[in-house]
Amino acid sequence: MPLYRDQGIVLRTHKLGEADRIITVLTRSLGKVRTVGKGVRRTKSRFGARLEPGMLVDLQCYEGRNLDTVTQAETLESWGDVCARDYDAWTAANAVLETCDRLTEEREPALQQYLLVTGAMRSLAGKEHDPNLVLDAYLLRALAVAGWAPSFHDCAKCGAEGPHRAFHIVSGGAVCSVCRPPGSSAPAPETLRLLAALLAGDWMIADSSDVRHRREGSGLTTAFLQWHLERGVRSLRMVER
């Protein structure tokens, strides 16, 4: 397959040489691919603007030994460009894209991750909800798709029906009074309800939540993500919560 075509979202870019860029794209059917965009940093580049982070593109590449080379790119959605005009949306979008990059492997199809990241970027660009809520919803769902679904209602250890007061990241979420390990936190019940709503996509509950509970939920989500990824997501430091 020397030449291939696929839809994909640009996750990140690195400068290469004088005017080129390495572009990491999560494609719909091939998974994550690393491609070279030749001359895309020149102001007269025909597709430089299309290969920026957060852009959804129809991509044609030819396979190389190490890296593929982009031969054509058509914009399908310019979510990155829209988000860059709003600093809060931009920092959230960066955290979404970086997390997606960390959760996917090269050349391993990841359709669910693709659908999640495109959904999150569409929502951020459309200003449908608070960018922090969109980010937390994405992080929780992306972790769930990766096999680390947190439990916010039933006990994560014994499965006892909730709601429970204690929350323990290492155990996987809410824990009952019997299973509660030392060092568990006790978030507000509204916070756990908000996180469950974000995981399930219940935006009625999420949008009407209190700022205090959103902030507490963001802290738990970030801690949960960093525990499973073992290394911090750098973009999250820039998100104003």
Partner 1 sequence: MYEGAVQDLIDELGRLPGVGPKSAQRIAFHLLQSDAVDVQRLTDALTQVKAKVRFCVICHNIAESEQCRICADPRRDLTSICVVEEPKDVVAIERTREFRGRYHVLGGAISPIDGIGPDDLTFRELMTRLASGEVTEIIIATDPNLEGEATASYLARFLKGMGIKITRLASGLPVGGDLEYADEVTLGRAFEGRRLLDA
Count, residues near partner 1 per rule CB under 8 A: 34
Interaction residues for partner 1, span 86-145 (CB under 8 A): 86-87, 90-91, 94-95, 97-98
Out of 5, 46, 107, 212, the only residue in the binding site for partner 1 (CB under 8 A) is 46
Q: Which stretch in 1-9, 81-89, 185-193, 217-225 sits in contact with partner 1 by CB under 8 A?
A: 81-89
Please answer whether residues 178 and 160 qualify as being in contact, where contact means their C-beta atoms are separated by less than 8 angstroms: yes
Spatial CA neighbour of 122 closest among 163, 71, 82: 82
**Alpha carbon of 81 to those of 27, 114, 192: distances in Å?**
19, 19, 34
DSSP assignment of 28-79, as one string? TTTEEEEEEETTTTSTT-SSTGGGSTT-EEEEEEE--SSSEEEEEEEEEE-H
Confirm or reject binding of residue 64 to partner 1 (CB under 8 A). no
Confirm or reject binding of residue 48 to partner 1 (CB under 8 A). yes
Comparison of 61 and 95: residue with beta carbon closer to partner 1: 95
Q: Which stretch in 47-55, 160-168, 187-195, 201-209 sits in contact with partner 1 by CB under 8 A?
A: 47-55
Parallel, antiparallel or unpaired: strands 3-16 and 56-62:
antiparallel
Confirm or reject binding of residue 72 to partner 1 (CB under 8 A). no
How far from chain centre, in Å, is Cα 82?
A: 17
φ, ψ for residue 170 (rounded to 5)?
-65, -35
Token duo for residue 234: 């750098």
Confirm or reject binding of residue 163 to partner 1 (CB under 8 A). no
Interaction residues for partner 1, span 8-37 (CB under 8 A): 12, 17-18
Q: Using CB under 8 A, list all residues that contact partner 1.
A: 12, 17-18, 43-44, 46-50, 52-55, 75, 78, 80-81, 83-87, 90-91, 94-95, 97-98, 234-235, 237-239
